[in-house]
Amino acid sequence: MTSKSRSRRVQKSRTPRKTRSLSSRIAWGRIIATAIVLGVIVSIVVADKIPLIGASCNVPEPTPVKNIVKKGNELTSEDSTRSIVAFRSQIQALIQQSGIAQNSKLSIRIMSAQQNEIFFEKNPDHYLTPASTTKLFPTFAAYALLGADYMVPTRVYTNAPIENGIVKGDVYLKGYGDPTLTEQDIKDLVREIAKKGITAIEGNIYADASYFDDITERHIYSGDNEIVEPLAPITALGMNRNGFAVEVHSGEVSIIPQSDAISLSRSGLSAKEPVIAKKSTKAEIKNKKSSKKKEVAKASKKKSKAQKSKKTEKKKSTKEKKKGKKRASLDPYLIKLSTYVGDVPKAPKSRKGKKARVSISTSGSTSGLQVVAVSGRGSATSYLTMKYPDMFVAGVLKHQLKLAGISVKGSIARKVTPENAEIIGEFKHPLSYLVGLVNKNSDNFLAEHVYKLVGASAGGQKNTGKVATETVKRVLADNGIPVDGICIYDGSGLCRKNLFSAAVQTMLLNRALKLPFGQDFKNSLSVAGVDGTLRKRMTGTYAASNLRAKTGTLRNTSALSGYSYTKDGEQLIFSIISNGPSVGEYKQLENRIGEAIANFSYASSLKGSQ
């Protein structure tokens, strides 16, 4: 090897190029590692601020109690216990300050949904009359048996052959307990039938309400000794809340909705509007006499006398209107409810100077048709209860079929649908829609339908109410809820013989959260300060838009049971049942307890107890 080659080798081995490359790599590695660490830290901080995709925006997710901190330190179990003790003292003080009667009976429980810890209770196992909080139990059972996605059907069947668009026989309209059916829904059924190419029906249209039993009055199947609130018949086939309107105007009579099941009698009905002649009042006569004696009168005196005269006339016309109100047999319950369900219009306002002399009455017949008799003259609107809801709906179907150009040769009658019959039309309403109306608005008529729906779905086509009671208890027992002390006789809570305790109600509410239909069940409850029976309660507090509950009210009874989030995001379950003479005070106490639950915070409770 020459000296030149050795020199090159030495120079090559001594070059600083590789050394510089290695040191730069180490430096870059340190920079990258630092960046990664910083990125992880930033992502953890930011991720805590961003909600998970798909998380509910309607209900805040509760913060676990163990993560609640106090002055930079984690909340200890001792702190938690002290906070709950302070809360119990607060609730007890609210009860003592409420001014309720000493002979009042209370059953109260407040518990944590997450921890199953009792925050407060007073006589939790005392069974009292729960009023409309009874509705929680049949609606829970309906969801448990049928599922939140269940659709309540109304179907049209036939067992006859269809040839060239002609049904060579009878058609059956069968109801499965949907009380919210409307005239528009019947029209939809007719459209489905028309889509099948049907142009004529050679037989009869039969109404089939056999899915429920034929005991249609709540106070009878509940064994109650009082009506409490008049309800239209509870039937498997019905519509328009089982009520209809009769409008009379200038001799013309309209049935709304129109049904071939109504037999109308117009005997003695006149098209002329009665006009009440104006009579001079005493004040007017006096004014005329004084004007003859005095030629000149002050303008101010004339003005005041004219005003007095007008007032006298107004009083007289008001008396005449009051007398005129006796003309129609109105159903107050249907008037109250017709504005938000069904097709019945509002009653028109009375006209000044005219007095209606119209008599509207109704009665049943052995044929199953309902007779409406109208006589007199003038204009009036009367809201009447259907005597035979199933026949009425069959009559609406027949009328709508004819309007759609589908001829019906036969008549309407009652008959059970044959087993071999096939569906030619169907309409469905969601069970969740029905349950929402029941619990938010505390709707007694709809609640009884849900109650009977529970019994019928368990095979109780005979003695449906009794089977409903047995089924509700079985569903509760299957979900670990004790039923030994429970008494349930109806679905609305109008029966005073119903008995539940706060412990049982909170157990049901807690169990519902753990079931697939839990959120649907919770959403069916009214929201404080927002909707339903709680829309005017607890407004402007932390309970508003937060607390969800079922209310209950009867004479000598008040109740409130539901859910509320605390300031810490923890969900509490509560039930307050009060029996006694102080219903107004009970309501105020419920509001204060609801607000106290929504205001609860471990940190603030500790500050208050220190």
Domain ranges for the chain: 73-123+505-610, 151-234+389-430, 239-289+297-385
Out of 54-63, 93-102, 170-179, 284-293, pick the least confident.
54-63
More confident residue, 361 or 284: 361
Output the six-digit token pair for 122. Answer: 């007073």
153: CB partners within 8 A, 6+ apart: 176, 178, 426, 427, 428
The phi, psi pair for 297, rounded to 5°, reads -130, 150
DSSP assigned state of 180: T
What integer pLDDT is reported at residue 529 of this predicted model?
Answer: 98
Query: Which of the four CATH numbers 3.40.710.10, 3.40.50.150, 2.40.50.140, 3.40.50.300 does domain 73-123+505-610 have?
Result: 3.40.710.10
Whether residue 361 has pLDDT greater than 80? yes
Give pLDDT, residue 230.
Answer: 94
Residue 324, pLDDT score: 37
> In angstroms, what CA-CA distances link 351 with 272, 276, 328, 330?
14, 11, 15, 18
571-579/105-112 β-pairing? antiparallel
Please determine, for residue 318, whether its predicted confidence score (pLDDT) is greater than 80.
no
pLDDT greater than 70 at residue 443: yes
Alpha-carbon distance 276 to 377, whole Å? 13
β-sheet with 571-579: strand ranges across: 118-122, 105-112, 571-579, 557-565, 548-554, 526-527
Q: What is the pLDDT of residue 185?
A: 97
By the 8 A CB rule, do 77 and 554 touch?
no
- pLDDT, residue 77, reads 82
C-alpha pair distances (Å), 407 with each of 14, 277, 337, 393, 401: 110, 50, 34, 17, 7
Confidence of residue 49 (pLDDT cuts 50, 70, 90): very low
Residue among 208, 253, 186 at smallest CA distance from 400: 186
pLDDT tens per residue, range 131-164: 999 999 999 999 999 999 999 999 999 999 999 9
pLDDT band per the 50, 70, 90 thresholds, residue 304 = low
Quote the pLDDT of residue 250. Answer: 82
The C-alpha R_g of the chain, in whole angstroms, comes to 36
239-266 pLDDT per residue, tens:
999 999 999 988 899 999 999 999 999 8
Give the per-residue pLDDT at 332. Answer: 41
The one-letter code for the residue type at 156 is: V
Asked if residues 384 and 363 have their Cβ atoms less than 8 Å apart, the reply is no
The mean pLDDT value for 48-60 works out to 34
Tell me, what DSSP letter sits at residue 500? B
Tell me the pTM: 0.77
DSSP-assigned letter for residue 128: B
**pLDDT per residue as tens digits for the range 407-435:** 999 999 999 999 999 999 999 999 999 99
- Dihedral sign computed on CA atoms, order 119, 120, 126, 131: negative
How many angstroms separate the CA atoms of 235 and 228, rounded?
Answer: 19
- Render pLDDT for 492-506 as a digit per residue (tens, 0 to 9): 999 999 999 999 999
* Short-list 88, 148, 155, CA closest to 121: 88
Tokens, residue 42? 């930033």
pLDDT above 80 (res 275): no
Angle of helix 183-195 versus helix 389-403 axis, rounded to 10: 50
Q: Is pLDDT above 70 for 571? A: yes
Average pLDDT over residues 194-202: 97
Residue 193 corresponds to which amino acid?
I
How many CB atoms are located within 10 Å of the residue 202 CB? 16
Closest by CA position to 412, among listed 253, 233, 209: 209
d(CA 271, CA 248): 10
Average pLDDT on 511-524 reads 98
88 vs 23, which has greater pLDDT?
88
551 backbone dihedrals φ, ψ, rounded to 5°: -90, 165
CATH superfamily entry for domain 151-234+389-430: D-Ala-D-Ala carboxypeptidase C, peptidase S13 (3.50.80.20)
On the question of a common fold for 73-123+505-610 and 151-234+389-430, the answer reads no
Among 95-104, 301-310, 325-334, the range with the most confident prediction by mean pLDDT is 95-104
The three-class DSSP label of residue 179 is coil
Predicted local distance difference test score (pLDDT) of residue 76: 83
What are the structure tokens assigned to 117, written together?
Answer: 């810890």
pLDDT band for 287, please (50, 70, 90 cuts): low
Confidence tier at 37 by pLDDT (50, 70, 90): low
Say yes or no to pLDDT of 337 above 90.
Answer: no
Q: What is the pLDDT of residue 330?
A: 37
The predicted structure's pLDDT at residue 57 = 31
CA separation for the pair 118, 337 (Å, rounded): 40
The structure tokens listed for 326 are: 């006796």
